[in-house]
Amino acid sequence: MIKIAGSAIKVSAGTTVSRILGYLRDMLVAQVFGAGVFADAFYAAYRIPNLIRRLLGEGSVSAAVIPVLSETRATKGDEETRRLALALFTLLVIILLVVTILGMIFAREIVSLIAYGFAEDSEKMKLTVTLTRLMFPFIFFVSLAALASGILNTYGFFFVPAASSAALSVSEIGFILAIAPLLSSGNQIKGLAVSVIIGGAGQLACQIPRMLKIGVKLRPNFSFGHAGVKKIAALMAPATVGISVDQINSFVDTICASFLPLGSVTALYYSNRLMQLPLAIFAIALSTAALPAMSDAAARSDTKTLKETLNHSLRLMLFAVVPSMAGLVVFGLPIIKMLFERGRFDSGASAMTYSALAFYAAGLPAYSAVKIFASAFYARKETAVPVKVAAFAMAINATLNILLMRRFAVGGLAMATAIASAFNAFWLFVILRRQIGPLGARKIASSLGKTLIASTTMCAAAYCLFLILPGAKDGGIGTLIAIGAGALVYVGAAKALGMEEFEDLREILVRKISRRRRGARQ
């Protein structure tokens, strides 16, 4: 179990690098474009290739590719695994070329579907279509990068794949700082779209040296009849829907947001980005690290180890995500002010963004649990159940969107997503328990209880400090001090409560420090 936590820390470290650069990028974009027409058009257009990237790339890799590669490696060795990896690369290149070309051709029809509310503003619709065409090649590069990440994860490499996504932020930041000031507003937003493509290509390029190191040379292999390719093809479609339900819900949210007041699409994007930070650093990191281990256990029919890995991953997730949820709810508005409120992004945009963030944050434990439960299903190559549950969850989300957006506007869309995700997580837990037996619910509940006590203590202490620090309410340095102090209180409370999860993480850090000291002496 320590190994899983150690791998998760590597993923978290790489993801943290990427996310920090991502927030710097978002700050710059918010400063230049605010929450107006250009930003709404850009984020609506970006949502389209980003969704397809999750469906064809990250969703299918997490759900189908890693379990099959793990099984092939365990039963047939590294040479056959590399052969399968090359066949997958070749096939995915062909599929992605077709998807990219069709997407560019039918960009207007796609935009009419995802941002139907833009139809009343012909200029806004025209700009969104143009940006969609410009950004569609992003899908090609970033989906291949996702496959590379899956292969490297199978071989135990986690940091480089997680950190490679920083290439997108580096590309956009470079454009905004060096080139955008030389262009008109209309050309600035188009240039930003081009920088997205460059960033996607960089994400793939970052991983190629590590791929070559493990012996995967990127050359064509048309062995599409390989048994592994057939298994992945059988798993891919339902697996993609099941594990990417949050992205599909975001797609539906964007459609609904296009009918709301100006700036709603942008507010939804920024609030989702803030919620995604703890989700990526903790939940996705844990599910990424646990999937190869659970797949290996499933290949050996070792149900006990699979359940232990699942239980430990859930407890570590709750230990990290629950205080993150509390922090975003309590300090969400000053965080938004600190990160984004400058230039054209005013206090009204901050308030609108927080109205969505508060509800998104409340759903964090559910989003995170879905990631880990889905990984357990796909490790066992079980795809039907997650798809059925996800379909119901999407129906609930769409229905609640219509009902709640009338009263709560953009906040209602985030609330609907949180409720639908809670439904998804609950039923995945119930069904998984029926299939493989008890999952250690009492141990999970005990850990959650202690986590809630520590989180409450953290928020109380941090908020008291927040109230007396100058400038904290306006997103000044006082906000960071209060949050930092709260984190220390949480660690102290977890230690006082004797939480096993805290001790596991502390042991890993102690080991890493000891290794570095030994290496320095040598």
CA 77 and chain centroid, separation: 31
The reported pLDDT for the residue numbered 248 is: 67
Higher pLDDT, 254 or 198: 198
* pLDDT for the residue numbered 239: 62
pLDDT tops 80 at residue 351: yes
> Would you place residue 59 in the very low, low, confident or very high pLDDT band (cuts 50, 70, 90)?
low
Mean pLDDT of the residues in the chain = 83
Q: Which of 194, 283, 334 is nearest to 12 (CA)?
A: 283
pLDDT category, 491, cuts 50, 70, 90?
very high
For 28, other C-beta atoms within 10 Å of its C-beta total 20
User: What's the Cα-to-Cα distance from 73 to each of 80, 83, 220, 317, rounded to whole Å?
Assistant: 7, 11, 21, 28
Token code pair at residue 413: 């869309």
Residue 500: exposure state from Cβ atoms within 10 A (0-12, 13-18, ≥19):
middle
Taking the C-alpha atoms of residue 122 and residue 425, their distance in angstroms, rounded to an integer, is: 40
409 phi-psi bin (left φ>0, alpha ψ -120 to 50, beta other): left
Q: How far apart are CA 127 and CA 185, in angstroms?
A: 12
Rounded Cα distance, 281 and 40, in Å = 27
**How far apart, in whole angstroms, are the C-alpha atoms of residue 280 and residue 385?**
24
Closest residue by Cα to residue 288 from 161, 383, 141: 161
227, 236, 295, 204: which is closest to 83 by C-alpha? 227
User: How many Å apart are CA 334 and CA 347, to the nearest integer?
Assistant: 11
Cβ 204 vs Cβ 142: under 8 Å:
yes
CB-CB contact of 428 with 386 (8 Å): yes
Structure tokens belonging to residue 351 = 């308030």
Q: What's residue 119's pLDDT?
A: 67
In this prediction, residue 348 carries a pLDDT of 86
Report how far Cα 517 is from the mean position of its chain's Cα atoms.
34
Q: What is the pLDDT of residues 195-230, one digit of tens each?
A: 999 999 999 999 999 998 888 888 888 888 888 888
Closest CA to 231 of 299, 297, 287, 289: 299
Cα atoms found within 13 Å of the Cα of residue 202, Cβ hemisphere only: 17
Higher pLDDT, 297 or 432: 432
Q: Would the pLDDT of 7 be above 90?
A: no
| CA 302/CA 280 separation, integer angstroms | 28
Confidence of residue 247 (pLDDT cuts 50, 70, 90): low
Q: What is the per-residue pLDDT across 118-129, written as a single tens digit (0 to 9) for each?
A: 767 777 888 888
- Condensed to tens digits (0 to 9), the pLDDT of residues 355-402 reads 999 999 999 999 889 888 988 888 887 877 887 888 888 889 999 999
pTM across the whole model? 0.72
pLDDT-based confidence at residue 69 (cuts at 50, 70, 90): confident
Residues in the chain: 522
Question: Contact at 8 Å (CB) between 325 and 361?
Answer: yes
Q: Could you give the CA distance from residue 479 to residue 346 in angstroms, rounded to a whole number?
A: 18
Do 288 and 19 touch, CB atoms closer than 8 A? no
Distance of CA 314 to the CA centre of its chain: 17
Structure tokens at 36: 């107006």
Task: Supply the pLDDT for residue 520.
Answer: 44
Question: Could you give the C-alpha distances from 177 to 37, 134, 174, 183, 263, in angstroms and in order?
Answer: 21, 20, 5, 12, 24
* pLDDT at position 418: 92
Question: Could you give the residue ranges of the DSSP H alpha helices within 54-121?
Answer: 59-60, 66-76, 78-105, 107-114
Q: Give residue 332's identity as a one-letter amino acid code.
A: G
pLDDT computed for residue 61 by the predictor = 65
| Rounded-to-integer distance, Cα 403 and Cα 255, Å | 14
User: E strand or H helix at 40, and its extent?
Assistant: helix 37-53
In 10 A of CB 428, how many CB atoms? 23
The whole-angstrom separation of Cα 200 and Cα 68 is 26
pLDDT at 110: 83
Categorize the per-residue pLDDT at 60 as very low, low, confident or very high, splitting at 50, 70 and 90: low
Which band of pLDDT confidence, cut at 50, 70 and 90, is reported for residue 502?
confident
* Residues 461-476 pLDDT 10s: 999 998 888 777 777 7
Confidence class for position 6, pLDDT limits 50, 70, 90: low
